[in-house]
Amino acid sequence: MNTTEQSQSTTSVYLVTGATGAIGKAIARQLAATDNAEVVLVCRDQAKADNTVQEIIDATGNTKVRYELADLSVYGDIRALAQRWQGSLQVLINNAACTPRSRQVSADGIEMQFATNVLGYFWLTELFTDILRASAPARVVNVASYWAGGLVLNDLEFTSRRYNNDTAYRQSKQANRMLSTAFAHRLKAYNISVNACHPGDVNSVLSNNLGFGGHETPDQGAETPVWLATQPIGQQQTGKYFEHKHETTCRFSNNLKAANDLFECCEEYSNND
């Protein structure tokens, strides 16, 4: 077998969070339809996970689709997932998010949007770094949003501000974009790229909770994350932000000091476990 043939037959393992939601399911299905793909869904609800896996297998004919159960707002669940992981991982796609209309806290006592949408991404990337390094070249794709801004570093959990789910969501998506840059600088030496993207405006439970609908289909919403996960640009670029498969200037990512300050804040939550 020559080098090209060997490369083409190598399995790429993808880990997709939030994979029972509208965009996450479309991401997982599109990945499963690519050559030599093994797709692992991270889900909270076992019944939804069973149904989603079977739906993707039926749609693609790819039987290398499975799931792992974990609550991504809980550090211990993510740590346990990383500890029981066997084999390689070429691509981590952080997609899971929530938008509760009232202020809720995780099992760890952390405001739910910050725990899931921000720390969930942070902890997965942090705890899977060794696995990604061993599998390199590898990538992390963070599903963020153009609907971002308003981050307050000294009130990340809305203990001082009045909680509003739209404000909390926008803050979390700004944080995703900032942390992508911070991780990109730290992981570049290990041949791990880290990029963020806006997935598209899809009608989903998440968007409905924010008071929005959506004019794009889940498959359209999945296009940019899948493109970054599978195409060469997703490995060649790192620390970048993309919309509609085009690199876009990110005003949040350009401030590396602020990104590192946020990174250090998130580290404290790991250290406090």
- Residue 58 reports pLDDT greater than 80: yes
List phi, psi (to 5°) of 156: -65, -25
Catalytic status, residue 67: no
CA-based radius of gyration for the chain:
17
Does the bond joining 218 to the residue before it have cis omega, within 30 degrees of 0?
Answer: no
Catalytic option among 75, 169, 241, 269: 169
- What pLDDT digit, counting tens, does each position of 115-133 carry? 999 999 999 999 999 999 9
Mean pLDDT over 192-200 rounds to: 94
User: CA quadruple 142, 225, 245, 227: dihedral positive or negative?
Assistant: positive
- Residue 176 reports pLDDT greater than 70: yes
pLDDT confidence of residue 2:
38
| pTM for this prediction | 0.93
Beta strands 65-69 and 192-198 are unpaired
Please tell me the distance from the alpha carbon of residue 160 to that of residue 80, in angstroms, as a whole number.
32
- What pLDDT digit, counting tens, does each position of 142-151 carry? 999 999 999 9
Q: What does the mean pLDDT of the chain come to? A: 92
Closest CA to 181 of 151, 144, 149: 144
pLDDT confidence of residue 218:
87
- Residue 65 reports pLDDT greater than 90: yes
pLDDT confidence of residue 43:
96
Mean pLDDT over 46-51 rounds to: 97
Please tell me the distance from the alpha carbon of residue 98 to that of residue 84, in angstroms, as a whole number.
25
CB-CB contact of 132 with 140 (8 Å): yes
Provide the 8-state DSSP code for 148: -
- Residue 4 reports pLDDT greater than 60: no
End-to-end, the C-alpha distance of the chain in Å comes to 48
